[in-house]
Amino acid sequence: MKIEGLYLKNFLSHESTEVVFNDDVAVNVIIGQNGAGKTSLIQGIIFSIFREADKGNQADLVRKGAVEGTVKMKFRWGNRTCEVIRHVSVKGKAEDDILVCDGIPKARGIRKVSDEMVNMLGVNGDLAKSTFIVREGKIMDILEENILGETLSETIKADKLNKLTDSNGYIRSIMKEVEKELEIINELERQIEDDRKYLELKRKELNDKKGEITAITAVLDSIKTEENALRIRYDELKKRKESYIELNKEMTMKRQEVEKLNQEIESLSKLVSDIDLLRKQLESLKSYKEMESEINSYSETKQNLEKLRNLLENQEKEIKNKRIKLKKKEETEPFYYKYLEIQERLKLNKKALNDLSRYKGQLDKIKEELDRTQEEVSQIDVEKLQQEIEDLTRERENKGKNRDDIQKEIGGIESQIRELEDSLRRVEKLDSDTCPICGSHLDEEHKQKIQQEKESKLIVLKKRKEDLKRELEDLKSKLNSLDGKIELLKVNLSEIKSKIDRLEKLKKDFDLINNKINDYDKLEFIVRQDEEIIEKEELEAKFRTYLSVKEVTEEEIRDMESEKQEIQIHIEDLSNKLKTVERKLNGLTVEQVREKIEDYNKIDRKIRDIEKYEEVLKKDKEKLSEIKNDIEEISASISRLNYNQEEYNEVERRIEKVRKELEDNISKRAELQGNITQLEKEIEQKEKEMHEKEHRISKKQAYENSEKKLEKLREDLGDSGLKKFLIESVIALLVSNLNDILGKFDLAFRNVDIKAVTSGRTKIRTDFKIEIYNTKGDSLSIDNLSGGEKISLALALRLALTRIISNPGFIILDEPTVHLDEERRKKLIEIIKSVNNVVPQILVITHDEEVLDAADVVFRVTKENGVSKVRIELPGES
């Protein structure tokens, strides 16, 4: 795993920080004063991988004043590009964590993402902090025997093996379960004989109950036979009873009908007796009835005649009015067309005047802007401005070349400084009196002379580097100043060109509008002249008069005259029709004749009603005769039924008695059947229990064998078995890697061994002792090592452990120089430079400026207004 970038939002003291780690860079130094927020970057990496906080609640990781914090870490995992995103909230539940690889979600949710990250890295958080994540002041803790022991024990999961094999462990718990099962099987063997006796008793009881059911079933069959015979007789008597009731009901209804018909016949006979007298009266009024249609049309004709006379009068008035309007139309028509013509001309001319008036207002504004713009343009020399821009641009290019030359020179000087410093270190470390370069004799005086020369040269180079840096800063300031001047001149030039373009447009607009307004006075005179004509000749009033009579025509008046003649003819026809009807009345009034007709209608309706009654009377007499015959037939049918109510009641009582006996016996049989079913279930359950017990007893031998095998397994996994093998294998692999890494450092010793030391009465804890050997094979104590050698050993041991655990691809050193004296700090810096041969990515967090000598890239962390900021520096920048 290689970390490529880290983004913190509202995390600890970082409001919005993004750090990108270059693939080609080995040593990344994160530097800043205490409290600046540099350690927060490492906490962000640890939180991304393990979702762990150093201390306190995870909600405390959210920046003060914010509600939610976010950490994103981008990294390489094999050939895949991955990103893990974590969220933390002060209000409890935050947005889901997510892990994405090559753009595809790999895990979502706190638990799943954490499990996947541990799986990818190969270690948990505790083991990581014991190896490749080195917290402040902890770099040499790994050399302590108990801490190394805990780390290796965690590596081989020794605690899990102990838990598996101790007296309360998993294997022993399984053995206890086996022992418990064997005790149960022994008890089951004792129970099985009692179960057999119980089954024998229950089966005998079941047979007795089945015999009782057979006897009750025979009784039930006899009762059912008797019930069926009674049911047949009962059904027959029930049908007779229903027929008897129905016939008596019908007889009663028929007798009621006879009584009702006799009353109706008597009433109708009285009504029919007056019909002859009414017919004579009707004949005497017949002549008036024949005049009914003429009388009805008389009133209608009289009303129509009155309407026509009113219509004739209105028609004559309308014709007169139309003739007056037609005369006005003929008088005003010429003035109407003249008014229209003048109005159309006025409309066009007034519109043209409005347009010209607007142009006059625009002309003054354009003239004012034209004069102002012309004056502004005339005061500026465009060619001079362009020449000034060109001069400044050339000057900027020259200074830019000077800046590049100075940067190249600084790079060369830094390379010379590093070579001189390396050379001085090699001279200081020389134990022999032979020059490592040429092989000639090298005494102490010569050695000091070489050191003085190199130190003098180093001082000169460093001073030249500082002078060049100051010169470079001065050049950068001048370049920034030139950039500002050039940009300002370009803006001014652009504004001037815009004003020149605007000036040309204003000239064209002025000429165009000035040409348009020359005809304004002439057009104004024409408009006034037309308005005077309309007023003098009163054209508008005559126009409106014409509009009011425009629709009247001679043809319309002729049509109205024709309608008038038709109305007069119709009036004459109606008058003659009225006179004819009046002659037929023979002196009677119309109202008197209407009364005679009404009398005729009343008598006619009464006669028709009586004739209906005669028909009803005839039918009633026929129906009466039929009903009397029906009554005689019903009486005969009742006699033939031969129905006896006492016999019906006796059969009903016997049926009820038999039904009760049947229900009692059915209930007894159901109870017995329930007992049988219960017994069968008990027998079946007991047989099932016995089968299960026998099946469980059959496994007794297997459990006894398992007990022996588990005891053997416990011995094999114990201190003398698998645990011992794992410890020896891990130590061998660790020692091999440790010596390989130490070989890459410039140290006085070349070989290290690690031995396991088992302690404690129960042998459940294993510590590890580190043994060191010089090139001659002599054993050395850790206490005899120099401070730098101890740091080298501690760092190499952590890297070796990292290799055998998961080889994550990076190491984190948090304030590695804290509590170290000057000699150890310098040695640590040399070691950090060498470590990139072992691990490709190193992250160092420090407040110590000396550590920058080991940096390939520097991330400087500062705090502004309580918020942490990060900026990248190249080595040597400050």
Reduced to 3 states (helix: H, G, I; strand: E, B; else coil), residue 703 is: helix
Amino acid identity, position 32: G
Closest-CA residue to 128 (of 151, 110, 149): 151
Alpha carbon distance 735, 772 (integer Å): 11
Alpha carbon distance 793, 780 (integer Å): 13
Reduced to 3 states (helix: H, G, I; strand: E, B; else coil), residue 761 is: coil
Alpha carbon distance 390, 393 (integer Å): 5
For residue 619, say whether it is annotated as part of any ligand binding site. no
Read off the DSSP letter of residue 96.
Answer: P
Query: Phi/psi zone of residue 867: left (φ > 0), alpha (ψ -120 to 50 degrees), beta?
Result: beta
**519: its two tokens:** 């005809």
CB-based contact 768:756 (threshold 8 Å): yes
How many other CB atoms are found less than 10 A from the CB of residue 753? 14
Alpha carbon distance 382, 501 (integer Å): 13
For residue 210, say whether it is annotated as part of any ligand binding site. no
Cα-based distances in Å from 817 to 421, 468, 823, 859: 21, 31, 11, 17
| Phi, psi (rounded to 5 degrees) for 783 | -65, -25
Alpha carbon distance 840, 814 (integer Å): 17
Classify strands 810-814 and 80-89 as parallel, antiparallel or unpaired: unpaired
Cα-based distances in Å from 856 to 18, 21, 824, 870: 19, 11, 21, 16
CB-based contact 727:152 (threshold 8 Å): yes
For residue 438, say whether it is annotated as part of any ligand binding site. yes
Alpha carbon distance 658, 440 (integer Å): 142
Name 496's Cβ contacts closer than 8 Å, sequence gap at least 6. 377, 380, 382, 385
Reduced to 3 states (helix: H, G, I; strand: E, B; else coil), residue 34 is: coil
For residue 215, say whether it is annotated as part of any ligand binding site. no
How many other CB atoms are found less than 10 A from the CB of residue 621? 12
For residue 423, say whether it is annotated as part of any ligand binding site. no
CB-based contact 809:839 (threshold 8 Å): yes
Closest-CA residue to 581 (of 798, 786, 292): 292
Alpha carbon distance 30, 53 (integer Å): 20
Closest-CA residue to 462 (of 876, 848, 878): 876
For residue 34, say whether it is annotated as part of any ligand binding site. yes
CB-based contact 25:85 (threshold 8 Å): no
Name 827's Cβ contacts closer than 8 Å, sequence gap at least 6. 786, 787, 788, 789, 791, 792
For residue 35, say whether it is annotated as part of any ligand binding site. yes
Reduced to 3 states (helix: H, G, I; strand: E, B; else coil), residue 172 is: helix
Alpha carbon distance 106, 83 (integer Å): 10
Alpha carbon distance 378, 384 (integer Å): 13
Cα-based distances in Å from 62 to 53, 66, 90, 696: 11, 7, 7, 60
Strand order in the sheet with 2-11: 14-20, 2-11, 68-77, 80-89, 98-101, 104-108
Q: Where are the alpha helices (DSSP H) in 81-143?
A: 110-121, 125-130
Read off the DSSP letter of residue 850.
Answer: G
For residue 636, say whether it is annotated as part of any ligand binding site. no
Strand order in the sheet with 765-774: 749-759, 765-774, 779-780
For residue 109, say whether it is annotated as part of any ligand binding site. no
**692: its two tokens:** 């299960």
Alpha carbon distance 743, 834 (integer Å): 11
Q: Name the CA radius of gyration of the chain, rounded.
A: 65
Amino acid identity, position 576: N
Element (H, E) at 108: strand 104-108
- What beta strand segments (E) does 91-207 contain? 98-101, 104-108, 133-134
The annotated binding site for ATP is made up of 34-40
The annotated binding site is made up of 34-40, 435, 438
The annotated binding site for Zn(2+) is made up of 435, 438
